[in-house]
Amino acid sequence: MQQINLHTMEIGIIGSGNIGSTLAGYLTALGHQVFIANSRGPETLSDIAANTGATATTSEQAAGAKDLVIIAIPQKGMVNLPIDILSSSNAIIVDAGNYYPSRDGSVTEIENGATDSEWVSKVIGHPVIKAFNNIVASSLASKAVPSGDTDRISLSVAGDDAEQKKIVMQLVDEIGFDAIDGGLLSESWRQQPGEPAYCQDLNKEKLNDALQKADISKRAENLAAADEMARPYF
């Protein structure tokens, strides 16, 4: 991986929903050059670009960002990404999505035990860091606070590359949330839908406890319950 200047990163965001657009605003405000894309084309992103300061672009251009690419789309859309660009990228790639079978269809590898992000990594042919998936979009948009604030929410960051994970954790902190190391990508199931750490607005200590309380024998059961709760919104 190339040397990254954390103060002036070139960042692509694929996905212009609540998570992607909120992150675009935060990252642009921090001084980064941000390109945002969706599946409908840059002409549909004029309002988001105006509100966040990010540059509306194509998925191919966002995927080619040199320092960081954040993928914030439903799992079912992964196969339609510019995979050739992503697979050859030197950037850190962050998966901010979650697998919901009623929305995304059944994915055999995940149903057989792979984490959401292990499957994403396989699809795009590039290592990923799992982050920004275990927070409700409204909390991400409204609950960022300065470091040291007693009400600061914590986010879990999982991945196999320690240096990449460190960079993403620093970004989480700069945005306004505490970051904790969620372990290897194979452990990222602990921050997936239905688990105790998922979308609970916890501080650092309580989030760490929630990650440790996750019971892998209940993973399928917890996902099914979360999927059923989310079904009306898809």
User: What is the three-class DSSP state of 22?
Assistant: helix
Q: What is the pLDDT of residue 3?
A: 62
The residue length of the chain stands at: 234
Residue ranges per domain, the chain? 10-233
Q: What is the pLDDT of residue 31?
A: 96
- Class of residue 77 by CB neighbours under 10 A (exposed 0-12, middle 13-18, buried 19+): middle
10-233 fold: Rossmann fold (3.40.50)
pLDDT tens digits, one per residue of 80-126: 999 999 999 999 999 999 999 999 999 999 999 999 999 999 999 99
Task: Determine contact, residues 54/24, Cβ cutoff 8 Å.
Answer: yes
Q: What are the DSSP calls for 72-109, one per residue?
A: -S-GGGGGGS-HHHHHT--SEEEE-----HHHH---HH
Q: How far apart are CA 108 and CA 116, in angstroms?
A: 11
Question: Across all residues in the chain, what is the average pLDDT?
Answer: 96
Q: What are the DSSP calls for 129-164, one per residue?
A: EE-S-SS-HHHHHH----TT-TT--EEEEB-S-HHH
